[in-house]
Chain A
């Protein structure tokens, strides 16, 4: 039971806002020592884990090209394009992106989209452009809100779309683990099928919130203007 202290290290470390890399490293060492691993075994686990999970960092290979097109005015152009499409408000644009992201993920195309490949270069500048058309120069609070929701549309769409696709990691993990541990013979397609109800709920809940975002931004913009006027008095 003492090994649960390692979880406490994570929780306390994050609560005290200590550098996450240090917290995670410390928690790993604590778990290993209490769990009776030798120091060399702990170092081995750090090495094996890091080498085995390099795929999550591969998104950085897109950075040079994204940086290059940003240098030549990508975000400005995205804003210009959106400003011509007056029906596309920030909320509607993000709701459409959520739908596309979830739909393509359900077909197994999980690499369409992602924060580095789509949100930073395309989706966020367009969402911000739609808001600028409405409110003029965006105060920081509005900027932050739009960034947060642009990131959320991508993540929610990916999570609750990909599980509808048969050959995705989480489904293979379910069938692999359950079949070997309990001697069942689950069909991946059954698991995928039962991911659909939750996928629909996710689209409805987050889609509605994205559409309501426009009103929230309206309200926030009015409040900020008011506060600005009062500060000027």
Chain B
């Protein structure tokens, strides 16, 4: 069976190599702290395997993670001088290679889709799945990147095999610590759950609904999903809380709503909140960093005018169809 952990080790290796390059990059004014950041991150990716398998203590990784947060808060990692081709060289290369340049970029989604849609269901002779269950997308992305890289090397023939690593570092340095913010937010969700934040919020919403008003209850559930998602950055974290507080006792039990519709539309109301919040870093902040935007909230600003009418649509749909 192909295991997803192999690809986490690949990610870890990538970060460690970046750390070594960064350490040797004299043009980076923060090279030591930056190398420490990428190095600790790389080791954490590998060590995570043993934490997930319960073969190693989690608290040790916890210390490393807080260390990463402190490094990020102190302004690491920093950027070195960009060593890539000049715009003029790029025009020349584009004329030389033409549309072949798209091939590696297209290999990634095609191969990843093949893994997700087809190989995910393939079983080996002993009845086990070929790909680790639930991880086909990630394995697909990993394999796709390797194939795309091989194709890129064959087509473009860079002078040294270190070239893609240098170019990968160029992009990673633009993203900086934002690269691991989504992981930190997932961790925060875990701590919020364990500490009873969900229960406390349910308690507050209990006192907000006028008794007997269906539309008030629908609005509270949908808007509550959106707002709680904005705070937590994740509709999955908001769903159990709002459903326990409003969705189940009021909308289903008291007003006899159809559960499938209430819950399906409620989750989508939460997604409207995801569009509006920097807490959903992987959907909003990481793209801004990847595209090197001046305004890191740019994608959110483009999405809010869609999210608000869409939230209203959800309220109307639920009110009209679920009861």
Contact = CB atoms under 8 A, between A and B. Distances in A.
Nearest to B142: A61
Interface of B: 4, 7-8, 10-11, 14-15, 44-45, 47-49, 51-52, 57-66, 68-70, 72-73, 84-85, 89-95, 97-99, 101-102, 104-105, 108-109, 112-113, 115-117, 135, 137-138, 140-142, 144-146, 148-149, 152-153, 156, 158, 163-172, 177-192, 194-197, 200-201, 203-204, 231, 235-236, 239-240, 243-244, 248, 252, 259-261, 263-265, 267-268, 271, 274-275, 278-279, 281-288, 290-291, 293-295, 298-299, 301-303, 305-306, 309-310, 313-314, 317, 321
Contacts of B239: 173-174, 177
B188 A24 contact: yes
Q: How large is the interface on A (under 10, 10 to 19, 20 to 34, 35 or more residues)?
A: 35 or more
State the majority secondary structure of interface residues on B: helix
A56 B133 CA distance: 17
Contacts of B94: 72-74, 76-77, 80
A121 B285 CA distance: 17
B61 A47 contact: yes
A7 B97 contact: no
A40 B61 CA distance: 11
B194 A37 contact: yes
Contact of B116 (A108, A148, A171): A108
Interface string A142-182: 00110111111011100110010000011101100110011
Interface centre among B14, B164, B189, B201 (most CB of A within 10 A): B164
B240 A152 contact: no
B191 A49 contact: yes
A116 to B, nearest CB: 6
12 contacts: A22-B69, A31-B192, A59-B286, A61-B145, A66-B167, A73-B101, A108-B116, A115-B287, A151-B291, A156-B275, A181-B248, A201-B317
A206 B48 CA distance: 39
B323 to A, nearest CB: 13
Contacts of B108: 62, 65, 117
Contacts of B90: 71-73, 75-76
Query: When A and B form their complex, which 8 residue pairs have the shortest distance between CB atoms, in order from nearest?
Result: A35-B195, A67-B167, A49-B187, A73-B94, A43-B62, A47-B61, A47-B58, A51-B48
A16 B243 CA distance: 32
A120 B291 contact: yes
Given A44-B62, A47-B51, A197 B317 contact: yes
Interface string A25-60: 101100110111100111111111111111111111
A189 B204 CA distance: 33
Given A20-B285, A42-B191, A72-B94, 16 more contacts: A4-B204, A45-B62, A57-B183, A71-B85, A77-B98, A109-B113, A117-B108, A148-B298, A151-B287, A152-B275, A156-B303, A156-B306, A160-B310, A195-B264, A198-B310, A206-B306
Contacts of B282: 56
Interface string A66-106: 11111111111110110000000000000000000000100
Interface of A: 1, 3-4, 6-7, 10-11, 14, 19-22, 24-25, 27-28, 31-32, 34-37, 40-78, 80-81, 104, 107-113, 115-122, 124, 140, 144-145, 147-152, 154-156, 159-160, 163, 169-171, 173-174, 177-178, 181-182, 184, 186-187, 190-195, 197-198, 201-202, 205-206, 209
Contacts of B179: 57, 60
Contacts of B287: 115, 119, 151, 154-155
B290 A115 contact: yes
Nearest to B147: A65
Interface centre among B95, B236, B267 (most CB of A within 10 A): B267
A145 B8 CA distance: 35
A54 B66 CA distance: 16
A68 B196 contact: no
A197 B58 CA distance: 43
Contacts of B294: 140, 144
A64 B243 CA distance: 43
A129 to B, nearest CB: 12
Nearest to A184: B259
Given A3-B197, A148-B302, A209-B306, A46 B66 contact: yes
A45 to B, nearest CB: 5
Contact of A24 (B181, B231, B295, B321): B181
B84 A71 contact: yes
Contact of A49 (B169, B186, B279): B186
Given A47-B62, A68-B167, A121 B11 contact: no
A62 B290 CA distance: 12
Contacts of A194: 260-261, 264-265, 321
Contact of A53 (B99, B146, B187): B187
Contacts of B309: 205
Contacts of A193: 260, 264
B93 A73 contact: yes
